[in-house]
Amino acid sequence: MPMTEEHPNAAAVKETLDGLIHGVSGHSFEVLNDLYHRDMQTYVLLNDSTLMRNDKDGFMAFIKANMGALKDDNPWVKYHLVEADDTQGHIVISRKNDATGRYQLISLSIDFVFEDGRWQIIREVIMTRDQATDA
């Protein structure tokens, strides 16, 4: 069965990401270890065309270093797509934050897998934009 927005697991995948966003925004970084799959890979494409690649441990360190000093009481997020099937999920969102050192609008494509009784992020592709604008 293909992933769809109507699949009952789509709501669970969205709830998982909401928990991550609010946890990290509130500096509760322990949520990262549970939600990031052991084989997770991330790709961050910066405005200057630099591509940063990380595994789970590397990206957790990046998030802690860059988000640790931020105060993000109102984590802005816009969901463009939330889809799932029995074992996989996919979300496309936009966020505003300054995790890269500048307040920016970032676009994310996030892949999930249901394993060990929970939804986990297996891959994130993040693209920054020149400046934060309304999305």
Contact criterion met (CB below 8 Å) for 82 and 14: yes
User: What pTM does this model have?
Assistant: 0.86
Amino acid identity for residue 102 in this structure: R
What are 5's two structure tokens?
Answer: 């927005």
Give, for all 135 residues of the chain, the pLDDT tens digit.
Answer: 799 999 999 999 999 999 888 776 555 567 778 899 999 999 999 888 899 999 999 988 887 777 655 555 567 889 999 999 999 999 999 988 766 666 778 899 999 999 999 999 999 999 987 654 554
Q: String of b and e for 46-77 (b: at least 16 CB within 10 Å)?
A: beeeeeeebebeebbebbeeebeeeebeeeeb
Q: With left for phi above 0 and alpha for psi between -120 and 50, is residue 5 left, alpha or beta?
A: alpha
Q: How many residues does the chain have?
A: 135
